[in-house]
Structure 1
Amino acid sequence: MAITLNINGSAHEVDAPEDMPLLWAIRDVLGMTGTKFGCGVASCGACTVHVDGEPTRACQTPIGSVGEAAVTTIEGLSGPVAEAVQSAWQDLDVVQCGYCQSGQIMSAVGLLTENPKPDDQAIDDYMWGNVCRCATYTRIRAAIHEASSRMEA
């Protein structure tokens, strides 16, 4: 069955069953590999994308449930909040192995869009479901604070 998905501002025709996880449509069918597979049960955050601006676990989101919603992957992330987060991530050398970082960045953008001046507790609470096996949590928190400061400037 052909399903049209609005991903990164473009319509993409996906010939797949409605219960196919959005992650597999993005990665395997459309070839956008920035969104990662981690756990498959929505516990690690590696597969985080935005659906109508909300961070969403793509591994547990069936494509049939997406409808006409706007899906944004790490490849399509843009705008002032995204730019502040991405530049802070680079300047503070957040990345170690990098596997989880697209999901971390997608969640950080969601947080700063919702709460432009989060304190440490708000960051920890919002980012809690994003796992980093390299334990870069301190650098992630610092980069979110830095991005927040850059957004004020």
Structure 2
Amino acid sequence: MTKVTMTINGKEVSGDVEGRTLLSSFLREDLRMTGTHIGCDTSQCGACTVHVNGKTVKSCTMFAAEAEGAQVSTIEGQANADGSLNVIQQAFQDHHGLQCGFCTPGMVMTTAALLKINPKPSEQEVREHLEGNICRCTGYHNIVKAILAASGQDVSTIAAE
């Protein structure tokens, strides 16, 4: 067992992990932060997306020990300080960018990273950035619409699907 310490959503946490413990498992099983979903365990679906030291990471592809000393952001840290939905989460709700909700945490985390580097992405740029995230329910149309809305762009002419 190895002791790991990292800062998650601004709070320092520690735990003992085996060398093979994935970051996704550490978050969900040890810390009970179940917003990070595990969909495929092969880095295909993106449901486990978090940010580690400001970079987007599929947490099922990283060992918890690799995050030693890191700054980790998860979906649980995305809400506003008062607990209300942040602009991305609210846009997903307002524009029906979710159905079953399983992929939503990963989509929100991927969107946050995109809007940090590109505050006003085009529809094509959004679609390209989402290539590592799979949604089996929505067909992506409303997810893309929600992301464009979260970026402050007018989506009133985009038809709902």
Q: Indicate the residue corresponding to 1:110 in structure 2.
A: 113
Q: Indicate the residue corresponding to 1:43 in structure 2.
A: 44
- Report the CA distance between 1:68 and its aligned residue: 1.4
- Report the CA distance between 1:136 and its aligned residue: 3.8
Confirm or deny: 8 A CA contact 2:36 2:49 kept in the other structure: yes
The yes-or-no answer on 1:96 pairing with 2:99 is yes
Where 1:142 maps in the other structure, the secondary structure is helix
* Aligned pairs, number: 148
TM-score by length of 1: 0.91
Q: Indicate the residue corresponding to 1:11 in structure 2.
A: 12
Q: Indicate the residue corresponding to 2:138 in structure 1.
A: 135
- Report the CA distance between 1:78 and its aligned residue: 4.7
Post-superposition, which runs of at least 4 consecutive aligned residues in structure 1 deviate over 6 A? none
Question: Equivalents in 1 of 2:25, 2:101: separation in Å?
Answer: 20
Where 1:127 maps in the other structure, the secondary structure is helix
Aligned Cα RMSD in Å?
A: 1.5
Q: Indicate the residue corresponding to 2:33 in structure 1.
A: 32
- Report the CA distance between 1:120 and its aligned residue: 1.4
Percent of aligned positions with the same letter in both sequences? 39
Amino acid at match of 1:86: Q
Question: Equivalents in 2 of 1:6, 1:17: separation in Å?
Answer: 19
Q: Indicate the residue corresponding to 1:83 in structure 2.
A: 86
Where 2:5 maps in the other structure, the secondary structure is strand
String of CA shifts for 1:56-79, please: whole Å, max 9, x gaps. Answer: 100011112112111011001256
Question: Equivalents in 1 of 2:110, 2:9: separation in Å?
Answer: 16
Deviates more, 1:89-98 or 1:24-33: 89-98
Unaligned runs of 5+ residues in structure 1 are none
Looking at secondary structure, tell me which structure has more helix per residue.
1
TM-score by length of 2: 0.87
